[in-house]
Amino acid sequence: MPILYLTEAEVARVLTMDLALETTAAAFRKLALDEATNLPRQRCQTDHVMLHVLPAAAKTLGAIGFKAYTVSKQGAQFHVTLFDPKNGGVTAILEADLLGQFRTGAASGIATKKLARADATTVGLFGTGKQARTQLLAVCKVRAIKTAYVYSRDADRRTNFAAQLAQETGVEVVPVEKPEEAAQGRDIVITATAARAPVLLGEWVSAGQHLNLVGSNFLVKTETDVEVFRRATLVTADSKEQARLEAGDFVEPIKAGVLQWSDVLDFAPLLVGKYPGRESAQDVTLFKSLGLGIEDIALAVKIVELAKQQGLGRQLL
């Protein structure tokens, strides 16, 4: 069986945020209907390299496969491998750094569309990296955002990021010097950082906000303090099962008794109405994103379809 290989540049030729939003929403719906299987991220390592693997399958999406990536001092390398859902042969391998950025942004976009107030027009963003970019791209697709306020510790990065994202989104993007300026009074607040200690404090959180927490997927890392959860009305995660293994943001609130696991809702059933979402304009809603394999393979299947239509990629066998 021929195997299609797509480079990062070829993936970029067909990948859009609209496509990522569409496939990520479909992946969540399949999970909610028990038509998909998503296994939590597995990790192993040598002295120098850590390997992360995220397997998933969805028969009605025609998708089965996994994302695998390695992290070392030299950086990270990402691939998605897809298999034929009927005979099991490998059908495609995609370089998947950009794919992962877009599906992570899309997950927050879907959560924001479901949970943020319909009249939300302002965003506060912590972080100026690749993941922060796609977070803002996605949120601007699902709400009529007028202004985004961006904070990171490096003033030059803040300024350059703001200029780039203003051009990409068509909205005003303002770099701010203090972290509280990215949170206080904003309708939507996003944390997409590599921080190991809180960058978003509960004292800055106000009624009616929607929060997307994206940066931490290790139990020893958190972007938020306990007070954030004391103020949250609704807490949901892309996968509660995976959150038990990886959601560092939840560790201290649970220890303090501010948050119980019974309070944490799986997002997929919430999306399709099995749980209530925002019930009041005053609610503070919180979405914890960890990153799921089902999001990766759902998007990868569509990328492969579009790439074939455009004659992109090369056959390995």
The tally of domains found in the chain comes to 2
Inside any domain, residue 112: no
Mean pLDDT of 112-140: 98
Is 46 in the same domain as 91?
Answer: yes
Q: Going by C-beta distance under 8 Å and a sequence separation of 6 or more, which residues neighbour residue 245?
A: 40, 41, 219
* Average pLDDT score over the chain: 97
pLDDT for residue 308 is more than 80: yes
Mean pLDDT of 126-150: 98
pLDDT of the residue at 70: 98
Closest CA to 266 of 295, 233, 236: 236
Could you read off the pLDDT of 10-27 as tens digits, one per residue?
999 999 999 999 999 999
pLDDT of the residue at 166: 98
Mean pLDDT of 178-200: 97
DSSP string over the chain = ---EEE-HHHHHHH--HHHHHHHHHHHHHHHHTT--EEPPPEEEE-SS-EEEEEEEEEGGGTEEEEEEEEEETTEEEEEEEEE-TTT--EEEEEE-HHHHHHHHHHHHHHHHHHHS-TT--EEEEE--SHHHHHHHHHHHHHS---EEEEE-S-HHHHHHHHHHHHHHHSSEEEE-SSGGGGTTT-SEEEE----SS-SB-GGG--TT-EEEE-S--STT--SB-HHHHHH-SEEEES-HHHHHHH-HHHHHHHHTTS--GGGEEEHHHHHTTSS----STT--EEEE----HHHHHHHHHHHHHHHHHTT-SEE--
Label residue 317 by pLDDT band (50, 70, 90).
Answer: confident
Label residue 112 by pLDDT band (50, 70, 90).
Answer: very high
Inside any domain, residue 110: no
Cα–Cα distance for residue pair 27/19, rounded to 1 Å: 12
Tell me the CATH number at 16. Answer: 3.30.1780.10
Mean pLDDT of 20-43: 97
Inside any domain, residue 109: no
The structure's pTM equals: 0.96
Is 61 in the same domain as 140?
Answer: no
Is 122 in the same domain as 236?
Answer: yes
Inside any domain, residue 108: no
pLDDT for residue 1 is more than 90: no
Could you read off the pLDDT of 168-177 as tens digits, one per residue?
999 999 999 9
Is 270 in the same domain as 173?
Answer: yes
pLDDT of the residue at 156: 96
Could you read off the pLDDT of 212-221 as tens digits, one per residue?
999 999 999 9
Q: Please state, for a pLDDT cut of 70, what percent of the chain lies above it.
A: 100
Inside any domain, residue 105: no
pLDDT for residue 281 is more than 90: yes
Tell me the CATH number at 221. Answer: 3.40.50.720
Is 221 in the same domain as 245?
Answer: yes
Is 195 in the same domain as 273?
Answer: yes
Mean pLDDT of 108-130: 98
Range of the domain at 122: 117-291
